[in-house]
């Protein structure tokens, strides 16, 4: 589509504040809202999210939230910014310095979508360079698993979400599956049915064996995206990722609190209570039930988690009590906490409509 024509069309569909949920839902031709949908809350959470300074993975996750909510004008704008901040090596959304190898790919699907939507060749070039970084230049283990950081050979649970969904969105399905399978082989604890956080491949031991809620949430969200992205003729691969997803849900839900939330380290009740894992799991469950790979029995815990997240939104639109930026060592607020509230609502909306 011609960029000028795209903007003209978008201006008809969107108000001057393009981020408002009213414009999002108009794009989806929704005339009535389910009683559980609260567009004014989405507006406040979105506004708070976009006010935040954002690292590469945070910008990418925010852009993905706009993509799944259907706000294509914001997807285009955020994709353009991701490419503006692209490093020579191909990593997207890098502001000054960034130790991430895979984090910058979090914006990749939004950039690719914005290209197909607008025909903007700068976006295609940016997506191509991001893919080349991951497939050719990025440091990786002898088994081919891409490391998560530039300064150490670390394999981290966050990486499930950052690179494999973008690789799959680009149609490189075998590579995406190699990353998913490889990450799981290294990080999965079969006894607890949870992912440990950080494996140091140089030292050949876990530098953080704990079951961080955020890391397990990143994996659950990634699995739901990859299942949707894999083509129908990759049935066995889809079924494998579905089994990964179900096993992870079993491990996490065994530790869900009565209030629908989880501890920061999932099996450690002495760690603080946080909100984002609940949002991430609810998002993945709503996507799974809608996609037919999860049964409706999962909706009861998902809806409980969603209600818990709604109860944590303050008057400014911040989702409070998530594992907080910038250190992610205490409850607070974060871009990813905002984004996953929106992703959860997008998935809930799609399920109900």
Q: Where are the alpha helices (DSSP H) in 254-334?
A: 276-291, 299-310
Q: Which residues contact 268 (CB under 8 A, 6 or more apart)?
A: 210, 211
| Structural contact between residues 222 and 161, judged by C-beta atoms closer than 8 angstroms | yes
| Structural contact between residues 179 and 171, judged by C-beta atoms closer than 8 angstroms | no
Name the DSSP class of 332. E
Secondary structure element (H or E) that encloses residue 195, with its range:
strand 194-195
Structure-block tokens of residue 124: 């295609």
Q: For residue 308, how many other CB atoms are within 10 A of its CB? A: 22
Give the pLDDT confidence score for residue 97 in this predicted structure.
85
Q: Which residues contact 79 (CB under 8 A, 6 or more apart)?
A: 63, 107, 110, 111, 113, 114, 115, 123, 126
Burial track 169-181 (b if 16+ CB lie within 10 A, e otherwise): bbebbebbbbbbb
Q: How far is CA 265 from the centre of its chain?
A: 19
Q: What angle do CA 311, 314, 317 make, to 5 degrees?
A: 110
| Structural contact between residues 74 and 19, judged by C-beta atoms closer than 8 angstroms | yes
Q: What's the whole-model pTM score?
A: 0.90
Which CATH number among 1.50.10.10, 1.10.1280.10, 3.40.718.10, 3.40.50.620 corresponds to the domain 3-352? 1.50.10.10
What is the mean pLDDT of each successive set of 10 residues along the chain, which is 353 residues long? 37 35 37 60 96 96 98 97 97 93 98 98 98 98 97 98 98 98 98 98 98 98 98 98 98 98 98 98 98 97 97 97 97 98 97 92
DSSP states of 21-41: HHHHHHHTT--S--TT--HHH
Residue 164: which of 146, 188, 149, 150 has the closest Cα?
146
Residue 205: which of 151, 155, 148 has the closest Cα?
155
| Structural contact between residues 257 and 197, judged by C-beta atoms closer than 8 angstroms | no
Q: What are phi and psi for residue 205, nearest 5 degrees?
A: -160, 165
- CB-based burial label for 95 (10 Å; 0-12, 13-18, 19+): exposed
Q: Which residues contact 237 (CB under 8 A, 6 or more apart)?
A: 173, 177, 230
Q: How many CA atoms lie within 13 A of 205 on its CB side?
A: 2
Whole-Å CA distances, 11 to 29, 79, 117: 16, 18, 15
| Structural contact between residues 172 and 131, judged by C-beta atoms closer than 8 angstroms | yes
* Residues 352, 132: Cα–Cα separation, whole Å: 38
Structure-block tokens of residue 301: 């815990």
Phi-psi region of 29 (alpha: psi -120 to 50; beta: other; left: phi over 0): left
């Amino acid at each position: 589509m011609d960029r000028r024509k795209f903007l003209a069309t978008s201006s008809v569909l969107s108000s001057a504040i393009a981020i408002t949920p009213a414009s999002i839902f108009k794009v989806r031709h929704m005339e009535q809202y389910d009683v559980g949908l609260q567009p004014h809350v989405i507006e406040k959470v979105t506004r708070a999210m976009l006010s935040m300074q954002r690292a590469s993975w945070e910008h990418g996750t925010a852009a993905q939230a706009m993509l799944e909510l259907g706000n294509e004008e914001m997807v285009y704008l955020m994709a353009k910014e991701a490419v503006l901040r692209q490093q020579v090596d191909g990593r997207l959304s890098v502001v000054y310095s960034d130790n991430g190898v895979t984090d910058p790919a979090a914006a990749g699907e939004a950039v690719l979508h914005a290209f197909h939507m607008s025909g903007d060749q700068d976006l295609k070039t940016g997506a191509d360079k991001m893919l080349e970084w991951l497939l050719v230049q990025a440091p990786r283990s002898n088994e081919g698993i891409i490391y998560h950081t530039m300064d150490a050979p670390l394999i981290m649970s966050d990486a499930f979400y950052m690179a494999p969904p973008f690789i799959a969105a680009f149609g490189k399905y075998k590579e995406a599956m190699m990353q998913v399978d490889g990450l799981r082989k290294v990080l999965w604890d079969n006894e607890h049915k949870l992912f440990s956080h950080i494996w140091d491949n140089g030292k050949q031991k876990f530098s953080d064996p704990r079951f961080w809620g955020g890391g397990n949430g990143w994996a659950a969200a990634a699995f739901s995206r990859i299942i949707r992205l894999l083509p129908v003729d990759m049935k066995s691969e889809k079924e494998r990722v579905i089994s990964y997803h179900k096993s992870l849900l079993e491990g996490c839900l065994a530790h869900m609190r009565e209030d629908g939330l989880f501890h920061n380290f999932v099996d450690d009740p002495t760690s603080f209570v946080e909100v984002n894992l609940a949002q991430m799991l609810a998002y993945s469950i709503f996507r799974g039930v809608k996609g037919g790979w999860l049964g409706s029995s999962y909706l009861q815990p998902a809806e409980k988690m969603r209600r818990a997240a709604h109860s944590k939104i303050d008057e400014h639109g911040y989702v409070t009590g998530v594992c907080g930026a910038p250190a992610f060592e205490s409850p607070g607020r974060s871009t990813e906490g905002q984004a996953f509230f929106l992703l959860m609502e997008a998935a809930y909306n799609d399920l109900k409509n």
